[in-house]
Amino acid sequence: MTTDQLTGADRGSLVSELLGAHPDNEKLRNVLHGLPGVDAVGLEQRSAALSTRSIKTSSKVWALDKIIALIDLTTLEGADTPGKVRSLATKAMHPDPSDPSCPQVAAICVYGDMVPYVVEALGETHGDPDDGKISVAAVATAFPSGRASLEVKLADTRDAVAAGADEIDMVIDRGAFLSGNYLKVYNEIVQVKAACARPDGSFASLKVILETGELKTYDNIKRASWLSILAGGDFIKTSTGKVQPAATLPVTLLMLEVARDWYRLTGEKIGVKPAGGIRTSKDAVKYLVHVAETVGEEWLQPHLFRFGASSLLNDVLLQRQKLTTGRYSGPDYVTID
């Protein structure tokens, strides 16, 4: 059974239809290698065409505000301290202290041991970004390498959720994936998702980081995206930000197409998060266009699309100030190429 033979089904029934009651490596390989190959030239040409789109100056303020509201403001350094992440929380809540109309970011992304300090600093602002709050995301599973035992990865995840993390950004075992051990990758995602459980029966959202710069080929990225969704991921994320290349527009377009195809099959919306290397508002707007033209503007909300970034916010705020204070004197249309 291949994906182009499937009819509409929810995630559970689709996984059962594809993999049976007991997934094994052969079944996973048959599904993943049965996916249509990626037309690399066509993908890159479409991404290049979308990147030349222009938007009206009047729409650019909306776009800049939308970018801010979709940012996972991130610090993932060995030198992170409680004071640093508290300052980051303040910036997340008040990106532009001089302008109260400036939106908050979607989330703050930190290492698991920093989660309690972020939760404390956010106070009543901590919550669902779709409700105007700020979420707390934690990287886990031996980020960024993923080189640890499953027991360590699960403990890492449980600790972060217990500390108050709303979202877990896990890394897949790229070595296992590239060696064809799809079952190991699949099982780890399934078990990390289970470790996202809270006492009330709800789950922290799970973002699965593919580290696309190490997967090398578009076909591998497509297969890893499908594998992550089949195993229970709520988001597919490009990169850790520690490997180059990190997020690119063609790779993000490919992952958006996977999310679109999954939605057409199941009616379930999967989130996409490009992360690493997105530093300017001009580039971020290109990502918005890719989203709107591939899965639709309805995906431009925090539970379906995020930017993983540490420096992007500063440039967006600068461009926003230029527009909202009237100091902008450019043309009526602002190109984003």
Query: Annotated catalytic, 169?
Result: yes
Catalytic option among 72, 156, 166, 169: 169
Which residue shows structure tokens 């404390």? 120
Contact call for residues 196 and 206 (beta carbons, < 8 A): yes
- Spatial distance between the Cα atoms of 323 and 95, rounded to a whole number of angstroms: 16
- The count of other CB atoms within 10 Å of the CB of residue 209 is 29
* Strands, E assignment, the chain: 54-56, 71-74, 107-111, 135-140, 167-171, 205-209, 235-237, 271-273, 307-309, 333-335
Catalytic option among 60, 133, 207, 237: 237
Instruction: State the burial class of residue 100 (Cβ atoms within 10 Å of its Cβ: 0-12, 13-18, 19+).
Output: exposed
Query: Annotated catalytic, 237?
Result: yes
Three-state DSSP class for residue 122 = helix
- Spatial distance between the Cα atoms of 200 and 332, rounded to a whole number of angstroms: 52
Contact call for residues 93 and 104 (beta carbons, < 8 A): yes
Distances (CA, A) of 155 to 80, 249, 306: 21, 34, 26
Query: Annotated catalytic, 153?
Result: no
How many C-alpha atoms does 73 have within 13 Å on its Cβ side? 26
- Spatial distance between the Cα atoms of 140 and 193, rounded to a whole number of angstroms: 12
Catalytic option among 66, 273, 286, 315: 273
Query: What residues are labeled active site?
Result: 169, 237, 273
